[in-house]
Amino acid sequence: MNTHYQILIIGGGTAGIMTAAQLLKKDKNLTVGLIEPAETHYYQPAWTLVGAGTYNYDKTARSMASVIPKGVQWIKDYAMGFNPDKNRVSTKKSGDFTYDYLVVASGLVMDLTMIEGLEESLGKGVVCSNYTDPNHTWEVLKKFKGGNAVFTQPTTPIKCGGAPQKIAYLAADYFRKNSIKANVVFATPGSVIFGVKPIKDTLMKVIHNYGIHFKPFYAPYKIDADKKIVYFKSIASDENQCVINEDNELGEKSTGEAIIEMPFDMLHLAPPQTAPKFVKESVLVNDAGWLDVDHKTLQHNRFRNIFGLGDVAGLPTAKTGAAIRKQTPIVVENLLRLISTGHVSNTFYNGYSSCPLVTGYGKMVLAEFDYKGNFIPDSKLKQMLVFDSSKEHWRLWMLKKFMLPYLYWNKMLKGKKV
């Protein structure tokens, strides 16, 4: 195995595989190494559907060996640290590797310790998460007999920020179809259901139609699985402070300053998420602990021969596969231009991200937006679907369930233009 590569990539997720594939499409003579310990690559966007019983989990998994592009040297190991001054990356078992150029696409990790009681309760009983075990979510959903079905998310950035509410909508639809009396709650630390106005307007109608209890400014910090109580801190400003009335339908209690107790019969949540430890504790991160890259070029702000993209990147946009689809060509173009001329190109990333918001079985809304929160529907997709994608439609459901997985495995991961 080589110990030096012209281009070294950390991460065998969507960002790492796409970058490697597109680089070799452009120049097959590049020497590319990829550090990734996992044996399996997952198409995680389908896990929302798995959690609702409408997609086979096994179909979301393929061997890592089958998706790593031909010509890439797979270093099956854990990255452990950086020495960017010496162009060096250390690994757990294989020693050090050096590079001319480095691409950090390590993704993020779940940190269950950031919510008290989460580590002990997640994946057991009625506490579930599509982020960690969507099959368990489906089991919990099927066994639910009524009461409070609570869906929430943490204060940290998370991959696919819309996922915690998607499963809430699917659950509400499932309960309605099966005549199960449920109080469906969506509690979020955020102030609005979605930051893009046309999408927000549609989702508020969805929430109203299902009768979902929408709880903004609710930040979960503790779970008591035995008593089936989730604890929130209200982070609302005084003028937005919610008042918990006695004998309310959900059985909420206000206990002390800005503390809310909510009983649950089912609890789904996105765990808190951070950059991996070896990234977070390196000199490569910004003040928030994410990879410190230029928002337009995706070049590191301090080390010119390092680029970063995907979930680990400190970018003010949603962490999604759709964002990676737009980020990858920028990284590839700028990296190759840097190699050939010593300068990056004038091709910039505008913050595009997309969130396919499933709103029920057979219905979806497609949120596409940029750094400024503008709604920017993809022109080719709009021509193909011929309607307003900010509204619920069955064609968008077909896109989510069938077309996107096909494009992912057969186009995106193979470096083909999508």
| Structure confidence at residue 237 (pLDDT) | 76
Residue 240 has pLDDT above 70, yes or no: no
| Structure confidence at residue 236 (pLDDT) | 85
| Structure confidence at residue 45 (pLDDT) | 97
Which candidate in 355, 364, 366, 396 is catalytic?
355
| pLDDT band, very low/low/confident/very high, at 395 (cuts 50, 70, 90) | very high
* Joined tokens for residue 23: 């680089």
Residues 216-238 have pLDDT tens digits of 999 999 999 999 999 999 998 76
What is the percentage of the chain residues whose pLDDT exceeds 70? 97
Which candidate in 23, 79, 160, 323 is catalytic?
160
Residue 319 has pLDDT above 80, yes or no: yes
Average pLDDT estimate for 325-338: 97
| Structure confidence at residue 63 (pLDDT) | 98
| pLDDT band, very low/low/confident/very high, at 378 (cuts 50, 70, 90) | confident
Residue 243 has pLDDT above 70, yes or no: no
Residues 15-66 have pLDDT tens digits of 999 999 999 999 999 999 999 999 999 999 999 999 999 999 999 999 999 9
Q: What's the CA dihedral at 44, 42, 382, 358 to 10 degrees? A: -20
| Structure confidence at residue 256 (pLDDT) | 77
Report the relative pairing of strands 363-369 and 353-360 from DSSP bridges: antiparallel
Residues 97-145 have pLDDT tens digits of 999 999 999 999 999 999 999 999 999 999 999 999 999 999 999 999 9
Residue 371 has pLDDT above 60, yes or no: yes
Written as one letter, the residue type at 341 is: T
CA–CA dist 390, 387 (Å, integer): 9
Average pLDDT estimate for 390-404: 95
| Structure confidence at residue 1 (pLDDT) | 77
Rounded to the nearest integer, the mean pLDDT of the chain is 95
Residues 134-159 have pLDDT tens digits of 999 999 999 999 999 999 999 999 99
- Least confident interval from 161-165, 243-247, 361-365, 406-410: 243-247
Please indicate whether residue 242 is annotated as part of the active site: no
Q: What's the CA dihedral at 87, 310, 214, 396 to 10 degrees? A: 180
Write down all domains in the chain, each with its CATH number in brackets: 4-108+275-350+402-414 (3.50.50.60), 113-272 (3.50.50.60)
| pLDDT band, very low/low/confident/very high, at 380 (cuts 50, 70, 90) | confident
Average pLDDT estimate for 291-302: 98
- Least confident interval from 204-218, 289-303, 335-349, 371-385: 371-385
Q: Which residue has the higher pLDDT, 378 or 120?
A: 120
Average pLDDT estimate for 384-413: 92
| Structure confidence at residue 265 (pLDDT) | 98
Average pLDDT estimate for 77-99: 98
CA–CA dist 211, 182 (Å, integer): 10
Question: CB of 365 within 8 A of CB of 355?
Answer: no
In the chain, what's the furthest Cα-to-Cα distance?
70
Using only C-alpha atoms, the chain has a radius of gyration, in whole angstroms, of 22
CA–CA dist 201, 195 (Å, integer): 10
* Joined tokens for residue 20: 């490697």
- Least confident interval from 191-200, 214-223, 252-261: 252-261
Secondary structure class of 276 (helix, strand, coil): coil
Residue 239 has pLDDT above 60, yes or no: no
| pLDDT band, very low/low/confident/very high, at 242 (cuts 50, 70, 90) | low
Average pLDDT estimate for 81-109: 98
Residue 316 has pLDDT above 60, yes or no: yes
